[in-house]
Amino acid sequence: MDDEPLFTAGLAMLLGAQADMEVAWQATDGHQALWHAQTDPVDVILLDVQMPGLDGLATTHRLIEAGIQGRIVILTTFDVDEYVMGAIEAGAAGFLLKNTPPERLIEAVRTVHAGDCVISPGPTRRLLTAVRTGWKERAEAASPQRWSLPPGLTERETEILALVARGLTNQEICDRLWLSMATVKTHVSHLLAKTGARDRVQLVLLALRTGVVDLDELLAGAASPG
């Protein structure tokens, strides 16, 4: 949750006013969030990066390690590379800035609840740029580390991996490939299982690292308005 009572109260009112949402609890620090999540499990947890006692990234790590089933979205004023990368590496399903328009924030909660991931446009650009910077540093250091797709991926699964990396939703993939929703969901599930990725964001990083998609293309797409 958040250490700013007015912001937390306003967010709770906004989400609680939605017919398909219920705010189960609020917390002012990471330790409270951990306790609530374990005693009163919820589907989606919004965490601020800057919280007293235990910050949002550390809280995310603890929640994931504890096996909490609720999906975590980092919500913050800070649009900084290490926060974005840290949130994704910790296991968060989304990263949103606090200036995200209310209607987009509401839709983001629904998206995360449905099993997808969300990252605000600014952090998306930073995330992709951070990945490219990491590649450049490894190349300059002549690092022998090489990334490759795991064995056993089918041609169709690799095709869907590329579409996921380009930001297409399951429905858009259905429309593009003329497949049923059930078939696309099965392919995505197989991708997650075969690659060991936690979610679609990690699939994007895998697709980038293995060259399934072009980084400059994704950066151009992330920079596009809307």
| Residue 206: CATH number of its domain | 1.10.10.10
Q: Is residue 139 part of a domain?
A: no
Q: Is residue 91 part of a domain?
A: yes
- Region 28-44: mean pLDDT is 91
Place 222 in a pLDDT band, splitting at 50, 70 and 90. Answer: low
| Residue 60 belongs to domain with CATH number | 3.40.50.2300
Whether residue 157 sits in one domain with residue 109: no
Residues 160-178 pLDDT 10s: 999 988 878 888 899 999 9
* pLDDT value for 139: 44
pLDDT at position 10 over 70: yes
Tell me the average pLDDT of the chain: 80
pLDDT at position 192 over 50: yes
Whether residue 51 sits in one domain with residue 94: yes
* pLDDT value for 142: 42
In the chain, at which residue ranges do the beta strands (DSSP E only) sit? Answer: 44-47, 71-76, 94-97, 118-119
Instruction: Select the highest-mean-pLDDT range: 65-79, 91-105, 153-167, 189-203.
Output: 153-167
Among residues 126, 157, 176, which one ends one of the domains? 126
* pLDDT value for 177: 95
Q: Is residue 48 part of a domain?
A: yes
Whether residue 101 sits in one domain with residue 15: yes
Domain encompassing residue 177: 149-223
Whether residue 116 sits in one domain with residue 153: no
* pLDDT value for 122: 57
* pLDDT value for 191: 94
Q: Is residue 144 part of a domain?
A: no
Report residue 88: phi and psi, to 5°: -65, -45
Neighbours of 176 (CB within 10 A): 14
Whether residue 122 sits in one domain with residue 170: no
Whether residue 60 sits in one domain with residue 22: yes
Q: Cβ distance 190 to 182 under 8 Å?
A: no
Residue of higher predicted confidence among 203 and 136: 203
Task: Give the span between the Cα atoms of 31 and 127, in whole angstroms.
Answer: 28
> What are the CA-CA distances from residue 44 to residues 63, 74, 111, 113, 160 (Å)?
12, 11, 10, 6, 26
Q: How many domains does the chain have?
A: 2
For 26, the 3-state DSSP assignment is coil
- Kindly report the pTM of this predicted structure: 0.67
Whether residue 158 sits in one domain with residue 217: yes
Whether residue 108 sits in one domain with residue 180: no
- Region 52-76: mean pLDDT is 87
Whether residue 159 sits in one domain with residue 108: no
pLDDT at position 132 over 60: no
Q: Is residue 142 part of a domain?
A: no
Whether residue 163 sits in one domain with residue 71: no
Whether residue 121 sits in one domain with residue 24: yes
Which uninterrupted H or E stretch holds 134? helix 121-140
Name every residue whose Cβ is closer than 8 Å to that of residue 145 and which is 6 or more positions away in sequence: 138
pLDDT at position 226 over 50: no
- Region 189-208: mean pLDDT is 84
